[in-house]
């Protein structure tokens, strides 16, 4: 008997096979959303500052970080898909609890600070859009901050996972606004290519500080947890899909999907970040504007130089990228805490099936919003978020690399040599970046 119309078909028999060559729309998922969410309003501020302060000289950093970012994110995705557990669940199972709890606690603090900065940037951007660049005419920023937080929390809690993920996929299109801006303003493309692929490297403290900031913004701990957990969510949602330790025959297709999804998603992320940097270099740096601290400042600075259209596109992009990044930040905190505590977790579960998970998610968003009401300096907030992420990233990446090579966790699907090598290089680079961050903190 055929199922009633408009009802999803669930629990298909295991013999339903996936296509040998999956369609691109089926490939793009966790990796695409993870990569796009990395270009959040806080990231926009960092890339804008890099372009405004140093022109085209730092474009090479986004070429360097692409394979490193791809490797560590692919490893996280593999861990989730192979084991059927996210990073939190795997780490608490295989490593001392005090180490895992310390890392997750710092992750949550950094995510809340980042949430606050992103919500504040979105509120400021909406104010600028409504007021045409006049802050006084744009309306109450704090009301907009609260509205964005409530909207994001409501979507995460009440919208079905498969539909919510499709919304996040569509929101990735908002990043094309920054590509559009680059083609609206005058861009010396030959000079850009020369600078990006033959980099000028300086050891001046200010230069090193921005390089470290770009590395820390591009390779962030919350992205590790999110992508691993979304692979677990996909296993729960897709009929016939199982953790690869229990269904090894699915591995070839799944690993190829993960690889394509991750490399395309991270490539998209870094291309957009490069365009943001180039826009700031071509418009702001070229006109002597070198001090940009927030994404809304970047948008406002563009208006008198590049015109109202560029200003509007840039400001709307801040709102779109924020709507994409906020749930990723909040959910990655909730996933990490929930799995470490042994709770039911997942956006695929209804609220009454995972109340503690959703409680952490909502609490993280609320705490981020409240930071704007207590008037914490957003520049200092982002600074401390970067410091905490720098502290967390390196030991977490060491554990991830070790976990991916453990037979007890990964079975026969331990990391292949090439992926393992690039993953350890990424870990070493982030270690050097962390040392560089502390060395340049007083600069």
Convert the pLDDT of each residue in 189-225 to its tens digit. 888 888 888 888 887 777 888 888 888 888 899 999 9
Which of 220, 429, 434, 409 has its CA nearest to residue 333?
A: 220
For residue 17, pLDDT beyond 70: no
Q: pLDDT, tens digit, for every residue of 302-311?
A: 777 777 887 8
Which of 222, 266, 224, 216 has its CA nearest to residue 75?
A: 224
Question: Band of the pLDDT at 229, cuts 50, 70, 90?
Answer: very high
Asked whether 158 and 151 are in contact (CB, 8 A), the reply is no
Is 177 contained in some domain? yes
Residue 2 zone, left/alpha/beta (φ > 0; ψ -120 to 50; rest): beta
The torsion of the CA quartet 437, 105, 66, 420, rounded to 10 degrees, works out to 110
Asked whether 223 and 86 are in contact (CB, 8 A), the reply is no
Alpha carbon distance 91, 3 (integer Å) = 41
Two structure tokens written together for 265:
């998603």
The pLDDT score that the predictor gives to residue 167 is 78
Instruction: State the chain's mean pLDDT as an integer.
Output: 85
Q: What letter does residue 8 receive in the DSSP assignment?
A: -
Alpha carbon distance 61, 167 (integer Å) = 30
Asked whether 302 and 284 are in contact (CB, 8 A), the reply is yes
Question: Band of the pLDDT at 132, cuts 50, 70, 90?
Answer: confident
The pLDDT score that the predictor gives to residue 112 is 94
Q: What letter does residue 29 receive in the DSSP assignment?
A: S
Is 149 contained in some domain? yes
What are residue 245's phi and psi, to 5 degrees?
-65, -20
Is 181 contained in some domain? yes
Contacts of 19 (CB under 8 A, 6+ apart): none
Helix (H) or strand (E) holding 279: helix 251-279
Two structure tokens written together for 26:
């089926």
Asked whether 77 and 228 are in contact (CB, 8 A), the reply is yes
Two structure tokens written together for 100:
């895992």
Question: Band of the pLDDT at 5, cuts 50, 70, 90?
Answer: very low
For residue 383, pLDDT beyond 90: no
Alpha carbon distance 42, 114 (integer Å) = 7
Two structure tokens written together for 187:
């861009």
Q: What letter does residue 200 receive in the DSSP assignment?
A: -
For residue 162, pLDDT beyond 50: yes
Two structure tokens written together for 133:
């660049």
Alpha carbon distance 133, 307 (integer Å) = 11
The pLDDT score that the predictor gives to residue 171 is 76
Two structure tokens written together for 141:
């920023």
* 426-to-215, 251, 316 alpha-carbon distances in Å: 10, 25, 33
Q: What letter does residue 195 receive in the DSSP assignment?
A: H
Alpha carbon distance 132, 123 (integer Å) = 14
* Whole-structure pTM value: 0.86
Task: Give residue for tokens 């401390």.
Answer: 384
Is 311 contained in some domain? yes
For residue 124, pLDDT beyond 70: yes
Alpha carbon distance 279, 56 (integer Å) = 9
Is 116 contained in some domain? yes
* CA geometry: angle 192, 198, 204, nearest 5 deg: 95
Two structure tokens written together for 367:
């705490």
Is 340 contained in some domain? yes
Asked whether 116 and 368 are in contact (CB, 8 A), the reply is yes
Asked whether 124 and 148 are in contact (CB, 8 A), the reply is no
Q: What letter does residue 440 receive in the DSSP assignment?
A: T
Mean pLDDT value of segment 22-48: 78
We report the CATH number of the domain holding residue 331 as 1.20.1740.10
Q: How many domains does the chain have?
A: 1
The pLDDT score that the predictor gives to residue 25 is 57
Two structure tokens written together for 134:
């006049």
**CA 340: distance to chain centroid?**
21
Two structure tokens written together for 300:
């406002």
How many CB atoms lie under 10 A from the CB of residue 21? 8
The torsion of the CA quartet 349, 352, 353, 359, rounded to 10 degrees, works out to 80
Is 203 contained in some domain? yes
The pLDDT score that the predictor gives to residue 179 is 83
For residue 15, pLDDT beyond 70: no
64 or 387, which is more confident?
64
Asked whether 257 and 19 are in contact (CB, 8 A), the reply is no
Mean pLDDT value of segment 120-134: 88
Is 7 contained in some domain? no
For residue 169, pLDDT beyond 70: yes
What is the residue range of 200's domain?
29-238+247-283+292-439
Asked whether 171 and 177 are in contact (CB, 8 A), the reply is no
What percentage of the chain's residues is helix, strand, coil (to nearest 5)?
75, 0, 25
Q: pLDDT, tens digit, for every residue of 323-373?
A: 888 999 999 999 999 999 999 998 888 888 999 999 999 999 999 999 999
Between 28-32, 91-95, 104-108, the lowest mean confidence (pLDDT) is in 28-32
């Amino acid at each position: 008997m055929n199922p009633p119309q408009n009802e999803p078909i669930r629990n298909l028999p295991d013999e339903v096979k996936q296509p040998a060559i999956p369609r691109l729309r089926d490939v793009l998922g966790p990796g695409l959303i993870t990569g796009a969410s990395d270009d959040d309003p806080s990231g926009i501020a960092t890339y804008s500052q890099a372009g405004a302060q140093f022109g085209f000289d730092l474009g090479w950093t986004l070429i360097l970080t692409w394979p490193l970012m791809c490797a560590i994110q692919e490893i996280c995705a593999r861990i989730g898909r192979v084991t059927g557990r996210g990073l939190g669940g795997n780490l608490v199972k295989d490593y001392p609890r005090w180490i895992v709890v310390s890392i997750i606690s710092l992750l949550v603090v950094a995510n809340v600070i980042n949430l606050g900065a992103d919500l504040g940037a979105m509120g400021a951007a909406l104010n600028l859009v409504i007021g045409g660049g006049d802050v006084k005419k744009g309306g109450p920023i704090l009301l907009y901050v609260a509205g964005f937080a409530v909207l994001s929390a409501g979507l995460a809690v009440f919208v079905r996972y498969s539909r919510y993920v499709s919304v996040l996929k569509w929101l990735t299109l908002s990043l094309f606004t920054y590509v559009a801006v680059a083609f609206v303003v005058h861009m010396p493309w030959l000079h850009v290519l020369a600078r990006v692929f033959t980099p000028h490297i300086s050891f001046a403290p200010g230069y090193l500080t921005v390089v470290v900031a770009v590395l820390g913004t591009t390779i962030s701990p919350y992205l590790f947890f999110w992508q691993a957990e979304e692979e677990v969510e996909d296993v729960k949602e897709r009929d016939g899909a199982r953790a690869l330790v229990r269904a090894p025959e699915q591995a070839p297709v799944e690993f190829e999907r993960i690889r394509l999804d991750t490399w395309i998603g991270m490539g998209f992320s870094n291309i957009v970040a490069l365009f943001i940097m180039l826009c700031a270099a071509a418009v702001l740096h070229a006109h002597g504007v070198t001090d940009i601290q927030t994404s809304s400042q970047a948008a406002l600075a563009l208006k008198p130089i590049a015109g109202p259209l560029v200003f509007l596109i840039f400001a709307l992009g801040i709102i779109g990228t924020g709507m994409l990044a906020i749930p990723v930040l909040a959910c990655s905190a909730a996933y990490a805490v929930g799995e470490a505590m042994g709770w039911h977790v997942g956006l695929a579960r209804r609220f009454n099936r995972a109340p503690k998970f959703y409680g952490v998610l909502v609490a993280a968003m609320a705490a981020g919003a409240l930071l704007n009401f207590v008037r914490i300096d957003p520049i200092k907030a982002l600074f401390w978020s970067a410091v905490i992420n720098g502290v967390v990233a390196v030991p977490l990446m060491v554990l991830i690399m070790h976990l991916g090579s453990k037979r007890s966790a990964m079975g026969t699907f331990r990391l292949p040599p090439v992926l393992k090598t690039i993953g350890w290089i990424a870990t070493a680079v982030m270690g050097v970046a962390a040392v560089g961050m502390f060395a340049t903190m007083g600069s």
